[in-house]
Structure 1
Amino acid sequence: MSVVLAVDVGGTGLKGAVVDVHGRALVRRERPTALDGRGALDNLLALLAELAELAGPHRPVAVGVGTPGTVDEASGTVVHASNLGWRDLGLRALLEEATGLPVAVGHDARAAGRAEQLASGARDSFVFVPIGTGISAALVVRGTAVSGVSGAAGEFGHVVVHPDGEPCPCGQRGCVEAYAAAGAVLRRYRARGGRAGSTAEVVARVGRDADADADADAVWADAVGALALGLQGVTMLLDPAEIVLGGGVSRAGAVLLDPLAADLRSLLAWRSPPPLRTARWGAQAGRVGAALLGFERVGTTPRFELPHVPGTAGAGTG
C-alpha cells in the first residue's frame, strides 16, 4: 500500500506520521523543533529518516510538509518563518535530496484547512484557525485558499487587536497571538502569580464555581476576547459560512467555543455571526493536511476517513 511521510512543523514540536490513502496514521513520531534554524532543519531531516525506516512493508511515495511562515508553495521555499529562524530556505529541494522522494511544502494552516475542506465536508467558504504555539488562518473563499501576493495571507495571529498592548515575538504589540496562543496563555497566567506546568492546566482551572481561580479566568477571558476581536474583522471582511478552530488549544472544547461565540456575537451588532466549531481532525489537522500535500504531489487522490464528529457552538443561530 502506498503511503506518504507527513510532517506538521510547529513552533515547539514536529509531528510526523506515515499516512495511508485513508488518512490513517500507521506510525506516529514527534521531535522538538529546536531553537534555531539549523537545528530545526536537522530535526526535521532526522524525523523523516526515522519515519521512512518505520514504514516497514509500505512504500513511501512522497513527503508532505506543512510549515508556518511565508511560504512560496510553487517552489517549496520558506521565505520567512520567524519562530523557526528560516529565511529564503529552499526546503523542498533540500528534502528531496535527502529523502530521494518527491516533496511538497505548504503553509501549515492552508494545508490543514484544505484537509478540513476536502476530507471532512467543510463548506466552500470558511475560515480555519489553528491555535497552538502560534496562530494563523486558512481563508477559503469559494473553495480556494487565499495565499496573497507573497504567500503571506492568513497571518491572523498577527492582527493587532490591542494597540500598544503586550509585545509579540513578531515585533508588533497587541497581536492576537500575544494573548491567545498556547504559550501566551501560560506566560500571562504565570505573570499573575499562577503556577501551572502547561496551558492545559490553566484551561482546566477556568470557570470552576467550587474552586475558582480568578487568574485563570482573567487570562482566559483575555485570550477569548482577543480571538473574538480578530474574528470580528475576518467575519466583516470575508462573510464566511463558518469558522473552524483547530490546534491544541481547540481541545478546550466548550470552554473555548461558548464564550468565544458570545463575545463574537456581541461584537457584531447588525448581523449574525457565522457558526463556530472545532476541526473534525482536531489537533491532527496539520498532519493530515501535510499528508494531503504529499499525495497530491504524486497525483494520488486520497480517500480520507473521518475520525470523529466535530464540536459546535451556536454562534450563528441567534
Structure 2
Amino acid sequence: MTDSEESYPRLELHYPRPVIAFDIGGTAIKIVVVDARGDVVHTRSVRTPVGEENALLAALVDAVDSTRRDFPQASPAAIGVHITGLVDDDRGVVVLAEHLGLRNVAMRDRLAGLTGLPVAFGNDARGAGVAEFEMGAARGYHNAMVVSIGTGIGAAVFVDGRLYTADGFGAELGHMRTTAVGSTAGVVCACGGWGCLETLSSAKGVEGAYARATGTAPAGAERVFAAAAAGDPVAEAVVDSCIDALALAFAQVTAILSPEIIVVAGGLSGAGEQLLGPLRTRLDSLLTFQRRPVIARARFGGQAGVIASALIAGRLSGSTGNLSTGTRE
C-alpha cells in the first residue's frame, strides 16, 4: 500500500467524526480519510484484486484496519464506497462488474459485517457525477451529463435537476455500440458485445488499440496521448479514433437529452485540452439544430469518485454542509 501524491480540496462538509472513502476502479482502489473539518488527511491506493470477491473485500478491510492502527485519531465513523460496474445502489449489490469479475455480490452488507461500520455504497460514475453536479464543473446547471473515462466508461445523467438512474441500469454510456447491428467489427468488449464505446475511448481501450497496432503495450493511456502530442503517427491515429467515437456518442446523447453541459471526468480527463479541444470541434460538426453543450473538464478529475464516497459516508455519520441528494430544485 503506497501513499498517493495527489492533493485534494477541502470538502464543504463538517463531520462529527472522520470517514474513510473508497473508489474501486478496474485498475486501482483509491482510499482517503477525511477528518471532521473536511480535510483529506490520508490517501493511499492499492491495485484492485480482479476475479475474486473475497480478495477485494479483504483489501478493503485491510485498509480500514490499517487506518485504525496507523491513525487512531482518525478512526472512521462510517465508510463510503463507489465501485465500477452495474450497481443496485438501494440494495448495495454489485449486479455486474465485468472488469472485476463480480456478479451479484452484496458488497455493502458484507463490508459492514466485516468492519462493524455503517457503509454507504453506489456506482462510481453516478457518484462522480453527483460530486461534479453539487460541487464541481456542473454546479449551477439543471441538465447535465458527467462522463467518467477510466478503465471503462460510465456516466451520470441529470435531467431537470434530478439524477436519472433507471434502477441502476441507466447511463451505461460505455456500452453504446459504435458498429452496425450484427457486426463483429472492432474489438470484443468485457461485457461480451462487439464495438462498445469503451473498447475505443476508455483508457484501457486506448492502451489496447496502441498495443495491437505496435506490438508494444504502453504504460498507460497518458503515454499514448503524450506520444500523439510528440507526433507519433500510430498514437495520433489511436487518439483520433478515441475522440471520434466519443464525439459520436455525445452527439447521440445530445439529440436525446440536450444536456447544457457534458463534463469529462476520470483518469483520461487528465489529457485536458488535447482531448477536449478536438472533441468540441468534432461534436459541433455532428450537430445541426441541437443545443450545443458546454464540454468541460471535471473539477475533481480522477478524484471525483473517491470524493463522492466521502460525501455519502459523511451522510451516514451525520455530517452537515454541502451534502448531495442528487437533485436540484
TM-score, normalised by the number of residues in structure 2: 0.86
**Counterpart in 1 of 2:193?**
172
Task: Give 1:167's aligned amino acid.
Answer: V
Q: What's the offset of the Cα at 1:65? A: 0.1
Q: What's the offset of the Cα at 1:45? A: 2.3
Task: Give 1:137's aligned amino acid.
Answer: A
Describe the SS at the equivalent of 2:18: strand
**Structure 1: gaps of 5 or more residues:** 305-318
Distance in structure 2 (CA, Å) of the matches to 1:288 and 1:87:
25
Conserved in 2, the CA contact under 8 Å of 1:292 and 1:302? no
**Counterpart in 2 of 1:309?**
none
Question: 2:222 pairs with 193, 200, 206, which one?
Answer: 200
Confirm or deny that 1:89 pairs with 2:75: no
Cα distance 1:21–1:264, how it changes in 2: closer, same or farther (>3 A)? farther
Conserved in 2, the CA contact under 8 Å of 1:32 and 1:43? no
Task: Give 2:256's aligned amino acid.
Answer: L
Conserved in 1, the CA contact under 8 Å of 2:254 and 2:290? no
Confirm or deny that 1:246 pairs with 2:262: no
1:171-209 Cα shifts (integer Å, max 9, x gaps): 11111100011111111112111643221111112243x
In the TM superposition, 1:101-250 aligns within 5 A as: 101-120=117-136, 121-149=139-167, 151-163=168-180, 164=183, 165-193=186-214, 195=216, 196-208=218-230, 212-250=231-269
Task: Give 2:132's aligned amino acid.
Answer: E
Distance in structure 2 (CA, Å) of the matches to 1:53 and 1:126:
41
Question: 1:6 pairs with 2, 15, 21, which one?
Answer: 21
Q: What's the offset of the Cα at 1:135? A: 0.5
**Counterpart in 2 of 1:49?**
65
In the TM superposition, 1:230-309 aligns within 5 A as: 230-303=249-322
**Structure 2: gaps of 5 or more residues:** 1-15, 324-329
Distance in structure 1 (CA, Å) of the matches to 2:130 and 2:256:
20
Distance in structure 2 (CA, Å) of the matches to 1:22 and 1:137:
30
Q: What's the offset of the Cα at 1:296? A: 1.6
Distance in structure 2 (CA, Å) of the matches to 1:28 and 1:108:
18
Percent of aligned pairs sharing the same letter: 37
TM-score, normalised by the number of residues in structure 1: 0.89
Cα distance 1:18–1:223, how it changes in 2: closer, same or farther (>3 A)? same
Q: What's the offset of the Cα at 1:22? A: 5.5
Q: What's the offset of the Cα at 1:242? A: 0.2
**Counterpart in 2 of 1:60?**
76
Task: Give 1:105's aligned amino acid.
Answer: F
Task: Give 2:157's aligned amino acid.
Answer: L
In the TM superposition, 1:28-47 aligns within 5 A as: 28-38=43-53, 39-47=55-63
RMSD of aligned alpha carbons: 1.7
